[in-house]
Amino acid sequence: MAVSGGGKGPNKSGVSTEGLQRSMSTRQIQMLAIGGVIGVGLFYGASLSVKLAGPAVIIDFVVCGLIVAIVMRSLAEMTVEEPVSGSFGVYAKKYLGERVSFITSWMWWFYWVATVMSELAAIGKLMEYWFPTLPAWIPGLVALILFIMTNLFSVRVFGEVEYWFSTLKVFAVGIFMIFGALIIATGLFNGGHALGFVNLWQNGGFAPNGFLGIAMAISLTVQAYSGIETLGVEAGETKDPEKNIRRAFKTVTIRIGVLYIGSIFIMLSAFPWTYLINHAGSPYVLLFAKIGIPFAAGLVNLIIILSGLSSCNTGLYGGSRMLFGTSLGSRFEKTVGQLNARRVPHVAVWLTGLAIAVGILITYLAPDNVYVWITSASAFADLWVWAIILISEMAFRSKMNRAGTTLRYPVPLWPTTPIVGLILVVLSFVAILVSPLTRISVLTGVAFLIILWLYHVLAARRKIA
């Protein structure tokens, strides 16, 4: 039986918050959103996108940054008016229909399950740096158990753990940018020879692989940005949603843009792109090794592992809250929608954790291939979610305009802004199809989409949805 109290009951928009614990502060929800985005993908996977596009990968990061800014601004408009757990899944149900909501909620849940699977697999491989004989699946299993316990205990505890994880990651990226800028501008740690920005157009030019290379790298860049929409899901468990969420959406979008675009720009200026792809490991490790910090490789390896743990923590949280929100109003509400004494959706946490555990099994069976397999399967799901957020916002705004409602945080230049965002999302879908490396992302995502659609059609016919 759901536990009442705290945030239960409808807000001024008439949307129920269903008893979730409102105890996360502004600093926690901001860092939680950042933590969901900065994971192993940024620290460890940047070399592959650089290999595909060369220095022109900066274009991919700028385009994806623009998409994220538009998506987050659109989500913020709806969230300030209706702060609910389930976020865009609830908005899709209200403005686009139950079937779209069902598919979108499960697609996002699938995204986080797949993402956490890949992060845990990567953590297992990274631990081999210190423990070469340790099976890759063991660290992932230990981390998963730890985070299930953390998520079950309290939203406040979860938020505080993630706050410090995310702070460490932001600090690491910040230090990287500072030392990289010193190498570029002054030649410090580089024999006194300032580099400038010549590495951006030398060694084959800015776009050595042409437009195709830029298109092939877009899905990897999308994956790097994926997860920032978790900020909307946190609305159901945030103090003073109207004030805190508006501030959080604004600052998180800016910070992510600076950290991502800034660090990639500095990385490609400080090193020839050919150097990055010819040296195994993370470009971040290369820079710290270059400046001569003792034990740099081990230090950065630890930071990468902690980044993966942080992303896993956020993923388990986001996936369980979406599963909880999806269960409300359905025949699963009395089971999946249960809250424990701390007003945490414990059944949803356990179910999400068990689904993620499948990745531990895959890591056991195929430890060398699991990261690429699972990561490629999650990009399509998040692009789908971004598209639905934009379409939901246009339907929401149209309804508000017809009713003459004055919004507290309206999207500027409407409807041009969400339309531009939607066009860029569609172009990203096309770009993923172009690349043979990432085409499986679309094929796997479409297969899961069809399964969800067929299930909902059959369930509706049997009146059990």
Decide: 37 and 225 in contact? Cβ < 8 Å.
yes
**Per-residue pLDDT reduced to its tens digit, 149-172:** 877 776 666 567 667 777 777 787
CA-based torsion, 160, 162, 165, 169: positive or negative: negative
Return the CA Rg of the chain.
22
pLDDT at 16 over 50: no
Lowest mean pLDDT among 332-336, 394-398, 438-442: 332-336
Residue 2 — pLDDT band, cuts 50, 70, 90?
A: very low
Lowest mean pLDDT among 37-51, 206-220, 259-273, 386-400: 37-51
Q: Whole-angstrom Cα distance, residue 431 to residue 444?
A: 16
More confident residue, 87 or 157: 87
State the average pLDDT over residues 52-57: 90
Residue 36 — pLDDT band, cuts 50, 70, 90?
A: low
Phi-psi region of 276 (alpha: psi -120 to 50; beta: other; left: phi over 0): alpha
- Alpha carbons within 13 angstroms on the beta-carbon side of residue 246 total 12
pLDDT at 421 over 80: yes
Residue 387 — pLDDT band, cuts 50, 70, 90?
A: very high
Tell me which range, 73-87, 301-315, 387-401, is most confidently predicted by mean pLDDT: 387-401
Q: Whole-angstrom Cα distance, residue 159 to residue 314?
A: 9
The reported pLDDT for the residue numbered 17 is 42
Max intra-chain CA distance, the chain:
74
Q: Could you give all domains of the chain from N- to C-terminal order, each with its CATH number?
A: 26-461 (1.20.1740.10)
The predicted model scores a pTM of 0.80
What single-letter amino acid sits at 64? C
* Distant-in-sequence contacts of 7-10, Cβ < 8 A, 24+ apart: 7/236, 7/237, 7/343
State the average pLDDT over residues 72-84: 86
How does the average pLDDT of the chain come out, rounded?
77
The reported pLDDT for the residue numbered 345 is 81
State the average pLDDT over residues 402-421: 93
Tell me which range, 49-58, 169-178, 372-381, is most confidently predicted by mean pLDDT: 49-58
Spatial CB neighbours of 265, under 8 Å, sequence gap ≥ 6: 58
Tokens describing residue 126 = 């990274």
